[in-house]
Amino acid sequence: MSSRFCVLVVAKAPVPGFAKTRLCPPATARQAAEIAAAALLDTLDAVCATPGALPVVAMTGDLGSAARGSEIGRSLRRATVIAQRGWDFGARLANAHADTASVHAGLPVLQIGMDTPQVTPQLLGASIEPVLHGVHDAVLGPAEDGGWWGLGLRDPHHAQVLAGVPMSQEDTGVRTIRALAGVGLSPGPLPELSDVDTMGDAVRVAAEAPRGRFAAAVRAVEGREVA
């Protein structure tokens, strides 16, 4: 099947002491990094299995120092990898969309992060369908914490508005909708998901996707055997 859209994964190398620090305690720094690595690997598997999707990863950080760095490196061979650039997270998101459009011109983009390892190929494909069929010019998937987990755009250049949106705030989702409205877009809604910030989040997400690497890494912190 020919590529119909890009799935852009915005990710950072899961280096112990710098990755998922809000999981500590009960996780150690190494365990938190293992959870982050597992989340990224499960996400990449879902993206690469999505029919019609062209995987792109905007990456930052040192994989040489990361948990499961070699495994992540092998997984990234299935994707177009671009470097993150920008002075803050909003700018890096905007630039990642622009760089994706430069490499794969003319394709709509569905952007996600590495904090929702419960995503499936079915969910990703369904999420971009309203954009592909002209029902919406954009779609936005809210996160339970007030942010968002997914943004789909027919024209990825509209993502430049993200540079002016404060990220990781309780009202980031609302602010993003307002910013998109400012350029004439009215994003259609996607299902709400929980992203992984705390250990409570991790346990809930692991229960939703119990067979992946992520769930196994969470169970290791809980001291339970992996089924």
Closest C-alpha among 30, 148, 38, 21 to residue 93: 148
Whole-model pTM above 0.85?
yes
* Cβ-contact 108, 154 below 8 angstroms: yes
Give dist(CA 40, CA 173) in Å, integer.
22
Give dist(CA 96, CA 90) in Å, integer.
10
Q: Which residues pair with 9 in a beta bridge?
A: 57, 112
Residue 227, pLDDT score? 36
* Cβ-contact 131, 153 below 8 angstroms: yes
Sequence-distant (6+) residues with CB within 8 A of 133 are none
pLDDT in single tens digits along all 227 residues of the chain: 577 999 999 999 999 999 999 999 999 999 999 999 999 999 999 999 999 999 999 999 999 999 999 999 999 999 999 999 999 999 999 999 999 999 999 999 999 999 999 999 999 999 999 999 999 999 999 999 999 999 999 999 999 999 989 998 889 999 999 999 999 999 999 999 999 999 999 999 999 999 999 999 999 998 753 33
Q: How big is the CA angle at 121 (ends 115 and 122), to the nearest 5 degrees?
A: 115
